A and B are shown apart, each in its own frame.
Chain A
């Protein structure tokens, strides 16, 4: 299970971290796809 996270600073200065999970196979597929078609990831 692959975990990704993103931390943002809220308006009042407090930190907030989002977490997302993808099963490893799906995450690997997505990463292969991105390597094969880099233009697909431009957004």
Chain B
């Protein structure tokens, strides 16, 4: 069963997807459903062995191209609609072992090309309003399959966090005539204490308003709305800064650093949204090497994050981690 249920207090959609309770949970390495099917072996999700990257629709999707009718009847207060959309898995390579950090810059550049293609293809579907590209990495985040992969949710609405950012950017643009994220980038570069890394086209920093201790944001220096706006050179540059940030994370404590990596970009609802600005955000769950940051009462119940650290100090730690910047 799967449907969208309206939360009238928060004014946002909740996806119910009861079939996801049965999804594959930490299978043995030789029964990985994301590895290519071996000759004579059990059939996995990937029939062929010869490819660089692959994207496919999730077997346990929260959203479907042809969704079932909602199991319950809605009311005026409790609106219900079919869970239309697409949920895809993007495999970073046929190899079972490794993480995105282990990929070369050239391989990450290929992944960026695939993300860009999926953003365009899924965004062109008439029932899709937002293409959300993300990666959950590590058991701490709830990952159930270790084969290196990311995900894409093509939502039939603009998600609330994006909606909120769009609202702030539109307001700032109407007031000042400038892009809010361009101004944030300017402020971070002028201050300098929270910068983590930079290259010709991108800057990585822990923002002044970080909610997680090691929350890195990556922004293009130029005003770009989405992946589709990047030149080949900018794509290469994005691969370079991603690789740098990922290496710093892993080298900080010598562990494979868990994180949520999310991409915020122009919605696919056909409107211009010229005041928005592409960016990537990382939310690592650790606040120290052996302590997790939990989203507890204040964060979950009141929406107020309590960050036990200073962005300026955490940025310094990441600058000092190899490769030093």
Contact = CB atoms under 8 A, between A and B. Distances in A.
22 contacts: A1-B109, A1-B113, A1-B232, A3-B113, A3-B114, A5-B117, A14-B56, A15-B57, A16-B47, A16-B54, A16-B55, A16-B56, A17-B54, A17-B56, A18-B48, A18-B54, A19-B51, A19-B53, A19-B54, A19-B55, A19-B117, A20-B52
Contacts of A8: 47
A21 B55 contact: no
Interface of A: 1, 3, 5, 8, 10, 14-21
Given A18-B48, A19-B114, A10 B53 contact: no
Given A14-B57, A17-B56, 18 more contacts: A1-B109, A1-B232, A3-B110, A3-B113, A3-B114, A3-B117, A15-B56, A16-B47, A16-B54, A16-B57, A18-B54, A19-B51, A19-B53, A19-B54, A19-B55, A19-B117, A21-B52, A21-B113
A16 B46 contact: yes
A15 B87 CA distance: 11
Contact of B52 (A10, A15, A16, A19): A19
Contacts of A17: 54-56
Interface in B44-76: 45-48, 51-57, 59
Given A3-B117, A5-B117, A10-B56, A18 B109 contact: no
Interface in B27-47: 45-47
A27 to B, nearest CB: 13
A8 B37 CA distance: 15
A14 B59 contact: yes
B interface secondary structure, majority: mixed
A2 to B, nearest CB: 10
Nearest to B58: A14
Contacts of A14: 56-57, 59
Contacts of B56: 10, 14-17
A40 B51 CA distance: 22
Contacts of B52: 19-21
Nearest to A19: B53
A8 B54 CA distance: 11
A16 B118 CA distance: 11
A31 B106 CA distance: 22
Contacts of B110: 1, 3, 19, 21
B218 to A, nearest CB: 21
A15 B88 CA distance: 9
Contact of A18 (B51, B106, B113, B232): B51
Nearest to A18: B51
Nearest to B89: A16
A15 B110 CA distance: 20
Contacts of A10: 47, 56
Contacts of A5: 117
Nearest to A8: B47
B236 to A, nearest CB: 9
Interface in B278-302: none
B53 to A, nearest CB: 4
Interface string B77-117: 00000000000000000000000000000100110011001
Nearest to A20: B52
Contacts of B106: 1
Nearest to A9: B57
